[in-house]
Structure 1
Amino acid sequence: MTADAAPATPGRLARQRRRLSAARFWRSYRTHRAGVIGLAALVLFALMALTAPLTVGSGVAGVTDAPGDPLQAPSLDFPLGTDRFGRSVLGLVVWGSRVSLLVGLLAAVLSVVIGTVVGVTAGHFKGAYATVLMRITDWFLVMPALVLAIALATVMTRSLGTVILAIGVTSWPTTARLVRAQTLAVESRPYIERAKALGGGHWHIMSRHVLPNVMPLVLAQTTLMISSSVLAEATLAFLGLGDPTVISWGGLLQDAREAGAVSAGDWWYLVPPGVAIALVALAFTLCGRAVESVLNPRLGVAR
């Protein structure tokens, strides 16, 4: 019996459905020009971050192997000039992309995981449990997330883990609200009642029926949260609350401010990391909007 004539097992059917679903998703996604542009920009930034050890050397030492004069204007040797220590701004921006993208991604994943767990459980169990969770969520919603993140980053040790934790545990309420609303909609469908009647427990209902139906919303929310997390990391680093031993885009802006680049007119010290932050945030936002439109076509009609 050939491989093509092999019996269709449940696992094989599931893999085939996933491939067909991914193909449909991509066909629909590539019709959104802005989303394709955003995805192309993200691929370029990811390649820049991954190849940083090859292009600018390993770590900070690789950036400072051939130092120039402090605050040197752009030239052939230093296309984006140098910082106040004579380091290449281009090398710093390239190496800083690794930290900024990594922190933004991990903080967004932490935020979305917390929000998804809170939203699904609150929508499923209801009652006093849901009331307490939603009141906690409301409290986080009315409190400025950036202020809470600054407070956490101030009282904890200055490290990348602290920045990730500060951003992740303060930015989950929006996701929790959205996921809870979707969970309530899913649990009102007839097949959920049939699953309960057949003996399906809480874990079975949430993992097999609710979670797969809210995952498209979670995916779209994750892409949008990454852009917010990148901006939050840059803000914390700019305020001097990041890890001083690593290079990040926000840290470069903070160094430029301390060096007086604004008053001195040293634009090459400020513009490259600022433009990089803006482009990454815009690219993730474009991808997130495109994913939303693909997963919920009614959004595209409404817009």
Structure 2
Amino acid sequence: MTTETTSPTARPGVRALAWQRRRHSAVRFWQQYRTHRAGVLGLATLVLFALVAVTAPLTVGSDVSSVTAAPGRPLEGPSGHLLLGADRFGRDLLGLLVWGARVSLLVGLLAAVLSVAIGTLVGITAGHFRGAYATVMMRITDWFLVMPTLVLAIALATVMSRSLGTVILAIGVTTWPTTARLVRAQTLAVESRPYIERARALGGGHGHIMVRHVLPNVMPLVLAQTTLMISSSILAEATLAFLGLGDPTVVSWGGLLQDAREAGAVSSGDWWYLVPPGIAIAVVALAFTLCGRAVESVLNPRLGVAR
């Protein structure tokens, strides 16, 4: 009777305590993160680009990519009417740049999440089971590490249909080996600790140990690796789009560079066609890198990342 009457009231208390600890951890993380000036600058830049991307339908409209509604002349230079000039179809380049942020950021985020998810799964299982399974998985990982990532992504994007899903899949399945190596090393370190042996002695199965004990300890590494992978994924998406392997029906920063190349903007000196999307790609990639370095420094102070 005592257990039945106290158990329902105890569970909410345990949940409240768990949420309180999470809130305190989040507050402590932010207090340490904001001491990194470069990380704060990168975060502010990303928030600005995210707001621009989210509000694009309201600020530039959904018909900005329409050729029939082009407001300018082909390859028209910057002016008061078109701040960044026009592309080869007469479309507003500023509107295309704003609309392209939606695709570039979305592809970079989803591709990075897919890459880190695959790497985390391979790393944890290879570090936990070891033996023949770990040997096979690490040899596969080594093969992906040796092969040029861009070449594999190009080959995969070539044989599949040209769509955003193909680009995300091509980037995600070719960039996971680094994460797998890092997570496996961390898994081996975690599983050598005494409480893992106690969990096994108490009857904890493979799934329980990997999900309840190993995964929470490798999550800081996974989070930091995700922020760093997003910048690489954005650059990879821009490269594939520049090579003509992206989705031709959507507007992205890499697609704008590919259009500029086809229009001969390099030889004709139409800088307004090339510079803005290139700067946008570089700024976002740098912002994600700064955030990733700051997250690494907060979650692992021994790294000694400069502020």
Aligned partners of 1:112, 1:83: CA distance in 2, in Å?
A: 36
- Tell me if structure 2 keeps the 8 A contact 1:107–1:168: yes
Give the superposition deviation at 1:301: 6.5
Task: For 1:61 and 1:68, locate their aligned partners in 2 and report how far apart those are by CA, in whole Å.
Answer: 13
Q: Does 1:179 align with 2:190?
A: no
Gaps of 5+ in 2: 1-8
- Partners of 2:68 and 2:39 in 1: how far apart? 37
Distance 1:12 1:63, change over 3 A: farther
Specify the alignment match of 1:214 in structure 2. 218
Given candidates 19, 26, 34, the residue that maps to 1:22 is 26
Matched, 1:288 2:285: no
Identity of aligned residues (%): 84
Question: Separation in 1 of the partners of 2:211 and 2:269?
Answer: 56
Equivalenced residues, count: 298
Of the three residues 255, 273, 276, the one matched with 2:280 is: 276
Question: SS at 1:158's partner residue?
Answer: coil
Which whole-Å CA distance do the structure 1 matches of 2:144 and 2:65 have between them? 41
The match for 1:255 is 259
Partners of 1:64 and 1:87 within 8 A in 2: no
- 1:52-67 to structure 2, matched below 5 A, reads 52-61=56-65, 65-67=69-71
Q: Distance in 1 between matches of 2:65 and 2:184?
A: 48
Q: Deviation at 1:65?
A: 3.3
C-alpha distance 201-59 of structure 1, shift in aligned 2 (>3 A): farther
Which residue type is aligned with residue 71 of structure 1? L
SS class of match (1:16) = helix
What is the Cα deviation at residue 66 of structure 1? 4.6
Of residues 271, 274, 281 in structure 2, which corresponds to 1:267? 271
In 2: Cα distance, 1:118 partner to 1:89 partner: 42
CA separation in 1, counterparts of 2:220 and 2:147? 28
Q: Is the 8 A contact 1:74 1:82 kept in 2?
A: yes
Q: Deviations over 1:201-236 (max 9, x none)?
A: 000000000000000000000000000000000000
Counterpart residue number, 2:54: 50
Hey, what does 2:3 align to over in structure 1? none
Partner of residue 123 from structure 2, selected from 119, 125, 134: 119
The answer to whether the Cα contact below 8 Å between 2:64 and 2:91 also exists between their aligned partners in 1 is no
Name the CA distance, whole Å, in 2 between partners of 1:214 and 1:62.
46
Structure 1 regions of 5+ residues with no counterpart?
Answer: 1-5
Instruction: Note if 1:92 corresponds to 2:92.
Output: no
Check conservation: 1:56, 1:63, Cα contact below 8 A. no
Three-state SS of the structure 2 residue aligned to 1:208 is helix
Give the 4+ runs in structure 1 shifted more than 4 A.
Answer: 59-64
Partner residue in 2 for 1:78:
82
TM-score by structure 2 length? 0.95
**Cα deviation digits, residues 171-226 of structure 1 (max 9, x gap):** 00000000000000000000000000000000000000000000000000000000
Report the secondary structure of 2:304's partner residue: helix
Equivalent pair of 2:63/2:69 in contact (CA under 8 Å): no
Assess if the C-alpha contact under 8 Å between 1:57 and 1:63 holds in 2. no
> 8 Å contact 2:72–2:92 — kept in the other structure?
yes
Q: Counterpart of 1:34?
A: 38
**1:122-181 deviations in Å (ceiling 9; x for gaps):** 000000000000000000000011100000000111000000000000000000000000
The Cα offsets for residues 71-109 of structure 1, whole Å up to 9 and x where unpaired, read as 111001100000010001100000000000000000000
Q: TM (normalized to structure 1)? A: 0.96
